[in-house]
Each structure stands twice: as C-alpha cells, then as structure tokens.
Chains A and B, each alone.
Chain A
Amino acid sequence: MSRTGLINLALFAMLPLTAGAALMLDEPFIITLATKVAILALAGVGLNIALGLGGLVSLGHAAFFGIGGYAMGILASHAQSFVPLMETPFLIEGTRSMPVIWLVAVIAGALAALAIGALSLRTTGVYFIMITLAFGQMLYYFAISWPAYGGEDGLSIYVRNGFPGLNTLDPIQFFGIAFVILALALWGAGRLAASPFGLALSAARQNEARVETVGLSPYRLRLLAFVISGAVTALAGALFADLNRFVSPTMLSWQMSGEIMIFIILGGVGRLYGPVAGAALFILLEHVLGGLSDFWHVYLGLLLLLVVLFARGGIIGALAGREVAHD
C-alpha cells in the first residue's frame, strides 16, 4: 500500500477509534467532538469536489451548509409545534425523520448550487470567489431578517431527530450515523475522482482550452461538480444542525465558508482525505488552544501560513510526499 494509502487508512480509523475509546472511558463529550469532526469533514469533502477536483474556489459554501441546517431546523420546528409547513394546495407537515430531512437538505442544497453555480461559473478567478461570497452573504442576511424561523437568534430543536432503529440521542449511535455517511461520501468522492467525469473535470482545472478542444464543455462539467459539491455540504449542514439541535445564521456566515476551506487547505487541497485531516486538526486546536486562550485563532492563522508557505499539499502532502503520477 502506498504511503498516502496508509495515511488515509489511519485517518479513517482515527475517528471510530477515538469514539470507541471515549465510550469505554465514559467521556461522551469526546464522542461529540469526534462526531463534529466527522460532520465538518463531510462538509469539506463536499467543498473539495468543487475546489480540489474542479479548481473552483468557492467562498460561499456556508450557503449550502446553512441551507442543510435550515432544512433540518424548519422541518423539525414544524414537527415540534405541530404546525404544518403549508396546507394549500396540499398539506406538507414537518418531520422528525433524519432520512427525510437529509433528502430535503440534499435536494435544497443541489438546487441552490445549481442556481448559484449557473451564474457564478460565468466568471473565473477572483470574480468567482467574490460572487460566491456575495451569494453566501445574501442568504446570511436573508436568514437574519426572517423572523418566522428565529431570525438572528436561530432555531432550537428540543429533541434530536430520529433514525429508524437507532437512539440518536445516544452520542455513540449518532456518531455512528455521521461516520457511516462520511465513509460513504469519501467512497463516492473517490469513485467520482477516478470516473470519466472526474478525469474531464480535473482536466478543465488544469487546462480549459484542452477540454474544449476535445469537445467537452468546461462550464457544464463545473456546474455539475458545483451541484454535487453543494448537495454534500448541505447534507453535512443538516447533520451539524442535528448535532447541536440548533441552527442559526452563523451556519451561513462567510466565516463558516472560510472554516470549511481551511479544513481542506490544512489537510491538502484535492486530497481525498484532506478534509478529514484538516477538520480533525481544526477541532483539536480549537479545544487544546481554545482552552489556553480565547485568541487561539492567532495560532491557527500561523499554522495556516506555515502550511501555505511550506507544505502546499497540506498535512497529507507533507507526510506522504508529492503524489506520484499513476496511470
């Protein structure tokens, strides 16, 4: 097995091992932290499809993360107040079922990404960064000024939503759900990268003219990548809201977009397991350094600088060395 393969395996095993050890030591808080890492890594896996494979530097992925969060918040709040979402022309009630919420989150995230991507992808480079940021901010202020769902204060959900056959309030069981979804997303993202679509998408990042000349439209490739990316990140948002039993406009803030991007940069842009490494390190720093100082972001910033200056492949790149060409 290659060095990257070993590192990936270690990263993959790290989460269940940590959660398992915490279960034995009766440290539910650690399990919750591992769950948080899995969910944030999932958001990063989503962004990495656009950023790593497609070269699309989106600074608006909090929009999809937040849409997933609000999909959960809105459906669950209607269920807990027994008020249907709408009655005419047909009845739509809230729900406490995680699978239904996930489905809604994924579809809403995909549709939002389709709309935002269709416009944003007409631009490139710094304009693309700015326009995705602008869309993110639009949704952020929309959520703040929407009193029906808590406005600035957000929405609290009293009981975590249910999954058939599981007790989702048990930390280890909810961790299991998040981890299995992360594992599936990693598997899917790996397949995607190696697929015909992945080959063409990554080629469009490297050389747009080449892709056009072989008769493939870079715009369409990127738009679909953006939609898949948004859908995965929205799913992570729904899980994140369920983890906290709370959703607020903070999930839509540009700082959140930045954090998701930081996971990827720390872990290694375009590396399948980069978001896992990055999210784990981020949460670790937040709790180790955050305990020492309120200004722990200073150290995060320093680390980020070091990675960007000296380890362009992120943590995985630094450990595994430059990825060798493979057929």
Chain B
Amino acid sequence: MTEPLLRTKGLNKAFGALQATDNVSLTLQPGEIHALIGPNGAGKSTLIKQIAGGLAPDTGQIFFDGQDITGLSTVARARAGLGRTFQISALAMEYTVLQNAMLGALGQAGTVWRFFRPVMQDAALRGAAQNALERVGLAGLATRRTAELSHGQRRLLEVAVALTLKPRAFLMDEPMAGLGTDGSQALTAFLDQLRTEAPILLVEHDMDAVFALADRISVLVYGRIIATGTAAEIRADAQVREAYLGQEEGA
C-alpha cells in the first residue's frame, strides 16, 4: 500500500464531558475519495476542523505528506496544500463570484503583497479563477454578487475557490447540501474525476453520492470510528446498520 497523503493518529477532542472526537485514526490515500459519514452530532465537522486547522485536538497528531502538521496554523496548512470547503459557506459576500475565485487564485500564487497594480487586470489570476468557475459551471455567474447566489450555487463556489488553490488534498464538508438532485448528480460526476487530481476527504449526508463515489467509507458515531471499509463492506456491517443506516431506513 502506498504511503497515505493525510493521516490522523489517535485524535481526541472533548468539550467538557462531551467526547466529540474519540481516538480517531484515519488515512487518505493518493487518488481516493474517503467518505466520512455518521449521524448528526457524530463529530464530523469537529474532526474536519481539527484536520484543516482552527481547532486544536486535545491529544493526537495529524500528518500531511509525512510532516506533522498538528502545530501548524490554518494558514500554514492551506499553504501546505489542504483545500477546504466549509459546511456553512464562508465566502466574501460583498464580492462578485469572480472576485471570490480570484482570492483563491491570489492565495495560491502568493502575490498578495502588491499594492498598485489592479488585481482584476491580472490575466494569470483571472484565467485561473475563470477556469475554476467553468469547471463547476458557475462561469455564467462570474459578475454576480455572491450574496445574490442561491445556497447551492454558494456550495459550488466553495468548491471552485478550493480548486483555484490547486491543493494536494481536498477536505470537503457537505459540498452537496442544498444542491438538489440534478446539482448533486453533476457534482458527483465532477468529484469522481477530481480524485485523480487530488484525493478527497468527503463529509457528506447525501448517501447516493457517498456510495457512488467513495473508495472507502468511515462511519463516525459519538466521535468514534466504528467501521472503515468499501461501500459493500459498510452496507454489510451490522454495527453500522444499527447505528446509522438502520435509523435512516426506519425514518
């Protein structure tokens, strides 16, 4: 087996008496989509935050490309090549769609300390931003103010900004939420080919998407990974059926 690109080792995080992350060790291999599923409140977003930065684990370590990144800031992790999308869209709402994508391209290019040349006339950044918007199908909305986008369109813009970063691994927190059936099918097809560019750690509630995409699935319940395996293995796992899928079928 190849060396994992991303690896967590024994992560623990407690909020008071609540163990939000309980001894989580997982890996992300090059070229794969590793889906993280679990009922609401299982600690999926808490886990993503610890990996992307912004929330320090109580104990445990995170390795990215062999380097221990546990002590690094969010900014440094982004620079190292972790491309994150947020569960609740984190975009500059006053900006146009294109400006948001330009911001990502600017971060990737690292040419922010320039004070006189108009950024929107920078052909290279503009090209990178436009290209990312085209890939997610937002090119037609480039001049639209971000605040005017629908919820689903914002999710796509999140993905587009992550694309401009040319990350080495994606961390996606519910990119399908609010997309509707057509939208999530289109994004599913897109992520399917994106995995060859960089592996994706995918938190998602859309089970059709998860089972269609994931090379491996980890099931998180009360902060603990109760099972990891292929779609077929997870479907067959008795513990998982009881904890998670069973509930959904019953609902």
Contact = CB atoms under 8 A, between A and B. Distances in A.
A187 to B, nearest CB: 10
Contact of B53 (A191, A194, A212): A212
Nearest to A200: B112
Interface in A210-224: 210-217, 221
16 contacts: A195-B118, A195-B119, A196-B111, A196-B122, A199-B103, A202-B92, A203-B103, A206-B94, A207-B91, A210-B91, A210-B100, A213-B52, A215-B78, A325-B95, A325-B96, A326-B143
B103 A195 contact: no
B170 to A, nearest CB: 12
Interface residues of B, number: 46
A215 B106 CA distance: 9
A120 B100 CA distance: 28
A196 B75 contact: no
A195 B115 contact: yes
Contacts of A327: 96, 98-99, 120, 142-143
Nearest to A190: B118
Contacts of A221: 112
Interface of B: 52-54, 73-75, 78-79, 84, 86, 90-96, 98-100, 102-104, 106-108, 110-120, 122, 125, 142-145, 161, 164-165
B45 to A, nearest CB: 13
A197 interface: yes
Q: Which 3 A-B pairs have CB atoms at the shortest separation, nearest pair first?
A: A214-B107, A215-B78, A325-B145
Given A203-B103, A209-B54, A215-B78, A197 B112 contact: yes
B103 A192 contact: no
A217 to B, nearest CB: 5
Nearest to B162: A213
B119 A199 contact: yes
B165 A191 contact: no
Contact of A215 (B54, B108, B115): B108
Contact of A212 (B54, B104, B145): B54
Contact of A216 (B86, B112, B120): B112
A198 interface: yes
A196 B92 contact: no
Contacts of B78: 212-215
A221 B103 CA distance: 13
B106 A200 contact: yes
Interface string A29-41: 0000000000000
A214 B157 CA distance: 13
Given A213-B84, A216-B112, A199 B91 contact: no
Nearest to B145: A325
Contacts of B165: 214-215
B90 A194 contact: no
A176 B90 CA distance: 46
A326 B54 contact: no
A215 B93 contact: no
B120 A214 contact: no
A215 B142 CA distance: 22
Contacts of B114: 195-197
A214 B106 contact: yes
Contacts of A194: 118-120
A108 B130 CA distance: 43
Interface in A119-174: none
Interface in A242-277: none
A203 B100 CA distance: 8
Contacts of B91: 207, 210
A212 B104 CA distance: 10
A206 B147 CA distance: 11
Nearest to A325: B145
A326 B144 CA distance: 8
B107 A216 contact: yes
B248 to A, nearest CB: 31
Contacts of A206: 92-95
